[in-house]
Structure 1
Amino acid sequence: MTSSITGRTALVTGGGTGIGLGAATRLAADGAHVAICGRTAATLDAAVDKVTPLVGEGGSIRSIVADITVEDQVAAAVAFATEPTSGLDILFANAGGSAHMGPFAEADAAAVRATVDLNLVGTILCIKHAVPALRAAGGGSIVGMSSGAGAFPHRYLWAYGAAKAGIDMVCRSAAEELGVDGIRVNTVQPGIVDDELMSFITGGGALLDDYIEGMPLGRVGQVDDIAEAVRFLAGPESGWITGVNLPIDGGHHLRRGADYSKLFG
């Protein structure tokens, strides 16, 4: 068994910043043909410029503007990613975010729907359109972006958590269905990671203190902590692993979820 991903094709959604960019960099450094997508062309262009000097032999990095909640744009992004080989080997369905935070009694229905649409429905659309391309390549790996918030309650972050829990179940269901095609499907469940999205927490304060108190390893995660796990799940080293929801959170899942009400105090 070879552990090489040289020349394999990969699509990373939300690949312009944060964990998506870190994973795209890691895959490209190992020689994969990586396509990143996101909603902002300038962000994607900057990401390509950053990754290009780090691309390993046999690999490449390219970008396409696509919103994962728009099905035609998802289909276009998958087609773009397959151009080097006419197939797709790796999908990291990373794009997501939260439009809602707060107590149930004050829930904004539109924000809740937007959160579910972006995370859960967006991931479903990515899997839907990736499957034919993965079959054309003879199989491959899908990695979904979940969260610790989808595995155990984080106060006031329940809409995001419910959407991420849905991703875990969707990916387990896809793993059961698609194994016959040689397609493996897993998710990662990051804890608090020091990237652009989480800087309002990792910069310090009561919520960060609450996170640290809840983690046996007592530190926030780094983008590379998640990127290395994605690389493992994407490659042949994990060839007998499917249907797994992997916590990468400093042991946070062993204790309790973070209390986001501290942002409102």
Structure 2
Amino acid sequence: MEMTGKSILVTGGGSGIGAGVATALAAQGATVTIVGRTADRLEGTAQQIATAHPDAPAVHSHPADVTDEEQIAAAVAAATEHGGGLHGVVACAGGSETIGPVTQIDSAAWQRTVELNVNGTMYTLKHAARELVRGGGGSFVAISSIAASNTHRWFGAYGVTKSAVDHLVALAADELGASRVRVNGIRPGLIRTDLVTMILDDPALSGDYRDSTPLPRVGEVEDIADLASFLLGDRSTWITGQVINVDGGQMLRRGPDFTSMLEPVFGSDGLRGVVE
């Protein structure tokens, strides 16, 4: 029970990687507060964790939109109250509303993706770091993406915004080290969640991911949760400012080829930037 006595906030904790991380932390004894936009989903996840780990501390759910600074400030305050302080954060809330050639990006969707991935992570860091500093230190873990390190053609704002998250990690680690606050990031590769079902079910896309990944399997949420737990725990107190790929080695090769999915939509000329 390595996390016993620690209070951890997980944004995006209602599903996918965030829910996996929250489950692992609760199983290790942490008091976890999960944050997301959908109250019913959050409560359902909290109940699932409680059922799976009846001896774990209560998992608290707090609905909030990370793109609203006042809401995320309130969520940080709630997590601090639930846990009698705040010792760690996993900023997992993120996503994308853009896909397709840069010459055809919907600018409003681009802006919403920036708001979610960049501003949402910054607001979470801004307010959570205040509590970590007040408590004498702690650990902040941002969930980035392999799309930040390897180009993913036609992914629009996603990789760009995750690159911004990586730089925010470095900046915050440099600034907050004096207060014993560590800031690190994780770049997942292809992780088995509901969001990537369409990739796993598509023979061309799933085959392309296999070709570009040295280790011959799909990532699982537990792969991310294991590293997040380590970075939040007491065995990593000399690690900060790092962004670690958890991707089966895909960063050694290349990003995925989505031609088979997007060429029928945009055409071969459209994929190279032609606009009628």
TM-score (normalizing by structure 1): 0.96
Q: Does 1:184 align with 2:199?
A: no
1:159-201 per-residue CA deviation (whole Å, 9 max, x = no partner) reads: 1000000000001100000001110000000001110111111
1:129-144 alignment, distance < 5 Å: 129-144=127-142
How far 1:59 sits from its partner (Å)? 2.6
Query: What is the aligned-residue RMSD (CA, Å)?
Result: 1.4
CA spacing shift, 1:85–1:61, aligned 2, 3 Å? closer
State the alpha-carbon separation in 2 of the partners of residues 36 and 158 from structure 1: 28
Quick one: distance in 2 between partners of 1:163 and 1:15?
A: 20
Question: Whole-Å Cα distance in 1 between the matches of residues 56 and 215 of structure 2?
Answer: 37
Residue 62 in structure 1 maps to residue 99 in structure 2: no
Conserved? CA contact 2:105–2:156, under 8 Å: no
Residue identity matched to 1:78: V
8 A Cα contact 2:7 2:84, kept in partner: no
> Which residue in the other structure is 2:105 paired with?
107
Partner of 1:233: 231
Superposition TM-score, scaled by structure 2 size:
0.92
Q: Residue in 2 aligned with 1:49? A: 47
Aligned to 2:273: none
CA distance in 2, matches of 1:117, 1:145: 15
Deviation track 1:46-78 (CA, whole Å, cap 9, x = no partner) reads: 101100134475632110100000011100110
Query: What SS class does the counterpart of residue 186 from structure 1 fall into?
Result: strand
Partner secondary structure for residue 198 of structure 1: helix
Q: Hey, what's the Cα distance between the residues in 1 that align with 2:53 and 2:33?
A: 12
Name the structure 2 match of 1:150: 148
Matched, 1:166 2:164: yes
Residue identity in the other structure for 2:152: H
Q: CA deviation at 1:108?
A: 0.9
Secondary structure of the 2:235 match is helix
Aligned partners of 1:253, 1:158: CA distance in 2, in Å?
Answer: 19
Deviation at 1:86, TM superposition (A): 3.9
Moved more, 48-57 or 238-247: 48-57
| Structure 1: runs of 5+ lacking an equivalent | none
Q: State the aligned residue count.
A: 263
1:75-103 per-residue CA deviation (whole Å, 9 max, x = no partner) reads 01101100134421010000000100110
Amino-acid identity (%): 45
Structure 2 partner of 1:222:
220
Task: Specify the code of the residue in structure 2 equivalent to 1:194.
Answer: R
The 4+ residue runs of structure 1 with deviation greater than 6 A are none
Task: Select the structure of larger CA radius of gyration.
Answer: 2
